[in-house]
């Protein structure tokens, strides 16, 4: 399961920081293991101009998030969404066909054999889809969202969480 | 029914771990590299000795019948075997009478049942229930549900930094409104045994009822409910070498008599009319419907299995292995053990520097070692001791050996190497 690619991405994840001017952000949390990933997006003219993630998780979770940012950056919103859905289907369903041009993502193949760990691999992708479906961050609360790196729905303009149980840790 | 050799009173079987391991068919499994299984997830569930497995087969093959109903021989045999477990269990935990044992489908169900029936009878709005930060979710949520249902207030008994439960904190929490205190006899995360008897005494001095969660303790600690003087105590068969799907609660007879039934159905009633019923006597009042008969019979066989050994010899062996694990693990520079202010019992939890607990558990799988990683159903504890990603846990049973620990150490070193690359 721990292919070289995954170990490398875990050690030095790509796009592992908060965006300063995100247009969209969403938090993914696996309450059963404490893994949490926030995906930050800057969408311009229907394109994923910038994507990054913050949070903490196991090697599988972080490597998958890192691979995701590489795959999705620069795609149109529609393509990125389709892409993410395809990867999620592939990870969740052992009978699903392998998506085209998997590239390094193919390293996640081994995870599919461990149902306990599939959630680790899918967390960031779910957070990405959630971010897309969230209303864009308006200028007034942009700052608080960026500073706490939290879920869109948990943030208020003063940076406090509406929902204490959101567990984003900031 | 299949009987394990010996019982509480007979000459004891010597504690020969090799022969014990032979009793557990699943322990002989090997992975594709020929490595035998190292089962270090005993706190989640133990492996089963052949006599327990045989007892299930024997029941289904030779006398499968419902209990407390049949007029035929199988029905009687099934009832005798089922009630036999009640007697064994009462004897095992030193209850006054078999009727003080109520069968459930596990410790979780037992705690839910107790919360509901004690709540119904004893909880008034603004009453208080104390639970500790050590507790398994199944000893928290049922009380929280009572909070929502009956307007009681849950008070958390804060752990000290070193994981200790300090009884003087209890004194600060107890008020005239404190109806009940629930806590575990053995922590499934820290391997810690609180000063159970002292705590019970202090609670009782305040007129507070005490529920003991002995789900973990049952297979590792000698339990004497009379000596402890606890009001209620729960356990699960599957954590004590018995089948899943069977468990129990103990209650002091006088208290059980005051409690209403839980589920309605067959067996729990005496007379039924179209719009009313009268509840049955204790213990049947709390046992509605067809129980997991085979599993409860298997539970009795598991108790016999345990009791054929001298308890002290058994404890000594487990202590030795756990202590050895603690020594070997703490000698590794990359391991940080979770705190345990007392001697660790059955459980050693730890972190591996630079590795997420999940990754540790997955990596040692390759060496056919079964560990558990995560919150272990104890989120408040993890929060209190600041383990945001949980812990890795090795938990031991009577068949574990120092060799198991050695293999764990090798596997952990390998895991760390893989991440160093
Ligand atoms: C301390 C403790 N209490 C209760 C339980 C619940 O037991 P069961 O799942 O058998 O109902 C467990 C199981 O892990 C436990 O460790």
Identify all chain B residues contacting A60, using CB atoms and an 8 Å cutoff.
358-359, 362
Give the chain A residue whose CA is nearest to the CA of B419.
Answer: A7
Nearest CA distance, B154 vs chain A (angstrom): 18
Rounded Cα–Cα distance for residues B163 and B339 (Å): 6
What CATH number has the domain bearing residue A46? 3.90.1010.10
Tell me which of A95 and B62 has the higher pLDDT. Answer: B62
Q: Is residue B378 annotated as part of the catalytic site, yes or no?
A: no
pLDDT at B70: 74
Rounded Cα–Cα distance for residues B247 and B291 (Å): 11
Q: Kindly state whether residue A65 falls inside one of the protein's structural domains.
A: yes
* Residue B10: pLDDT band with limits 50, 70, 90: low
Nearest to B152 by CA among B131, B178, B132: B178
> Which of A32, A58, A61 would you mutate first to test chain B, the one with the most B CBs within 10 A?
A58
pLDDT at A154: 39
Identify all chain B residues contacting A120, using CB atoms and an 8 Å cutoff.
358
- Residue B131 is classified by DSSP as E
Q: Kindly state whether residue A97 falls inside one of the protein's structural domains.
A: yes
**B357 Cα–ligand 1 center, Å:** 21
- Residue B355 is classified by DSSP as B
Our mutation pick for probing the ligand 1 site, out of B113, B218, B377, B379, counting the most ligand atoms within 8 A of Cβ, is B377
Nearest CA distance, B147 vs chain A (angstrom): 19
pLDDT at A8: 93
Dump strand ranges (E) for chain A. Answer: 24-30, 35-44, 47-56
B108 CA: nearest ligand 1 atom: 11
* Residue A97: pLDDT band with limits 50, 70, 90: confident
Our mutation pick for probing the ligand 1 site, out of B106, B212, B236, B374, counting the most ligand atoms within 8 A of Cβ, is B236
Q: What CATH fold (topology level) applies to the domain B56-307?
A: 3.40.640
Structural domains counted in chain A: 1
For the whole model, what pTM was predicted?
Answer: 0.89
* Residue B381: pLDDT band with limits 50, 70, 90: very high
Average pLDDT, chain B: 95
Residues in contact with ligand 1 by the CB-under-6-Å rule are B 43, 106-108, 136, 138-139, 184, 188, 213, 215-216, 236, 238, 377
Q: In B96-248, which ranges are continuous DSSP H helix? A: 107-122, 141-150, 167-173, 196-205, 225-228
8 Å CB contact between A7 and A137: no
* Residue A147: pLDDT band with limits 50, 70, 90: very low
Is pLDDT at A148 greater than 70 in this prediction?
no
pLDDT at A156: 36
**Whole domain around residue A14: which residue ranges?**
4-139
- List the 358-417 stretch of B: residues with Cβ below 8 A of A: 358-359, 362-363, 373-375, 379, 382, 388-390
Q: Which sequence spans correspond to the domains of chain B?
A: 56-307, 311-420
pLDDT by residue (tens digit) across B128-156?
999 999 999 999 999 999 999 999 999 99
pLDDT by residue (tens digit) across A34-75?
899 999 999 999 999 999 999 999 999 999 999 999 999 999
Our mutation pick for probing the ligand 1 site, out of B45, B104, B108, B219, counting the most ligand atoms within 8 A of Cβ, is B108
Q: With an 8 Å Cβ cutoff, are A2 and B418 in contact?
A: yes
Residues 6+ apart with CB under 8 A from B169: B157, B158
* Residue B265: pLDDT band with limits 50, 70, 90: very high
> Which of A8, A30, A31, A33 would you mutate first to test chain B, the one with the most B CBs within 10 A?
A33
Question: Within chain A, how many helices (H) and strands (E) appear?
Answer: 5, 3
Strands laid side by side in the B347-352 sheet: B335-337, B347-352, B391-395, B372-374
pLDDT at B152: 98
Is pLDDT at B246 greater than 90 in this prediction?
yes
8 Å CB contact between B363 and A7: no
Rounded Cα–Cα distance for residues B308 and B303 (Å): 9
Nearest to A26 by CA among A167, A151, A163: A151
Q: With an 8 Å Cβ cutoff, are B382 and A34 in contact?
A: yes
**B194 Cα–ligand 1 center, Å:** 17
Identify all chain A residues contacting B362, using CB atoms and an 8 Å cutoff.
1-2, 60, 114, 117
Burial of B154 (0-12, 13-18, 19+ CB in 10 A): middle
* Residue A162: pLDDT band with limits 50, 70, 90: very low
Predicted ipTM of the assembly: 0.74
The whole-angstrom distance between residue B69's C-alpha and the CA centroid of its chain comes to 30
- The architecture in CATH of the region B311-420 reads Alpha-Beta Complex (3.90)
Rounded Cα–Cα distance for residues A84 and A126 (Å): 8
């Amino acid at each position: 399961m721990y292919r070289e690619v995954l170990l490398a991405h875990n050690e030095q994840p790509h796009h592992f920081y908060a965006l300063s001017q995100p247009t969209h952000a969403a938090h993914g949390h696996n309450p059963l293991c404490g893994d949490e990933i926030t995906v930050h997006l800057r969408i311009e003219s229907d394109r994923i101009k910038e994507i990054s993630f913050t949070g903490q998780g196991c090697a599988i979770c972080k490597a998958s998030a890192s691979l995701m940012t590489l795959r999705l950056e620069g795609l149109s919103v529609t393509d990125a969404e389709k892409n993410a859905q395809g990867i999620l289907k592939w990870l969740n369903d052992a009978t699903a066909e392998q998506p085209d041009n998997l590239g390094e993502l193919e390293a996640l193949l081994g995870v599919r054999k461990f149902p306990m760990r599939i959630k680790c691999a899918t967390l960031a992708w779910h957070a990405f889809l959630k971010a897309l479906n969230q209303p864009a961050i308006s200028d007034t609360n942009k700052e608080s969202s960026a500073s706490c790196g939290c879920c869109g729905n948990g943030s208020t303009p003063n940076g406090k969480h509406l929902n204490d149980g959101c567990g984003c840790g900031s | 029914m299949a009987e394990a050799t010996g019982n509480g009173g007979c000459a004891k079987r010597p504690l020969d771990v090799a022969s014990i391991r032979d009793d557990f068919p699943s322990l002989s499994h090997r992975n594709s590299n020929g490595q035998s299984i190292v089962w270090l997830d005993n706190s989640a569930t133990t492996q089963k000795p052949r006599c327990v497995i045989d007892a299930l087969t024997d029941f289904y093959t030779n006398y499968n019948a419902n209990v407390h109903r049949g007029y035929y021989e199988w029905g009687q045999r099934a009832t005798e075997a089922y009630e036999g477990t009640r007697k064994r269990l009462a004897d095992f935990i030193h209850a006054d009478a078999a009727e003080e044992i109520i069968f459930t489908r596990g410790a979780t169900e037992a705690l839910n049942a107790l919360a509901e029936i004690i709540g119904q009878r004893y909880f008034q709005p603004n009453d208080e229930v104390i639970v500790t930060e050590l507790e398994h979710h199944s000893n928290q949520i049922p009380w929280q549900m009572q909070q929502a249902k009956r307007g009681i207030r849950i008070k958390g008994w804060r752990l000290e930094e070193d994981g200790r439960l300090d009884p003087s904190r209890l004194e600060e929490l107890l008020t005239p409104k404190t109806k009940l205190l629930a806590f575990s006899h053995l922590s499934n995360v820290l391997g810690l045994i609180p000063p159970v008897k002292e705590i019970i005494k202090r609670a009782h001095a305040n007129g507070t009822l005490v529920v003991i969660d002995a789900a973990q303790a049952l297979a590792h600690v000698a339990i004497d409910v009379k000596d402890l003087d606890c009001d209620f105590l729960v356990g699960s068969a599957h954590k004590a070498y018995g089948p899943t799907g069977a468990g129990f609660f103990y209650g002091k007879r006088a208290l059980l008599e005051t409690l209403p039934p839980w589920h309605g159905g067959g067996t729990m009633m005496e007379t039924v009319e179209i719009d009313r019923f009268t509840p049955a006597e204790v213990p049947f009042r709390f046992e509605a419907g067809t129980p997991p008969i085979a599993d409860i019979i298997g539970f009795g066989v598991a108790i016999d299995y345990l009791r054929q050994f001298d308890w002290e010899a058994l404890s000594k062996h487990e202590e030795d292995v756990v202590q050895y694990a603690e020594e070997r693990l703490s000698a590794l520079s990359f391991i940080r053990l979770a705190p345990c202010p007392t001697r660790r019992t059955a459980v050693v939890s730890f972190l591996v520097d630079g590795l997420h607990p999940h990754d540790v558990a997955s990596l040692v799988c390759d060496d056919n070692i079964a560990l558990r990683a995560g919150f272990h159903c104890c989120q408040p504890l993890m929060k209190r001791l600041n383990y945001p990603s949980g812990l890795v846990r090795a938990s031991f049973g009577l068949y574990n050996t120092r060799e198991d620990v050695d293999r764990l150490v090798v596997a952990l070193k390998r895991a760390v190497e893989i991440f160093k690359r």
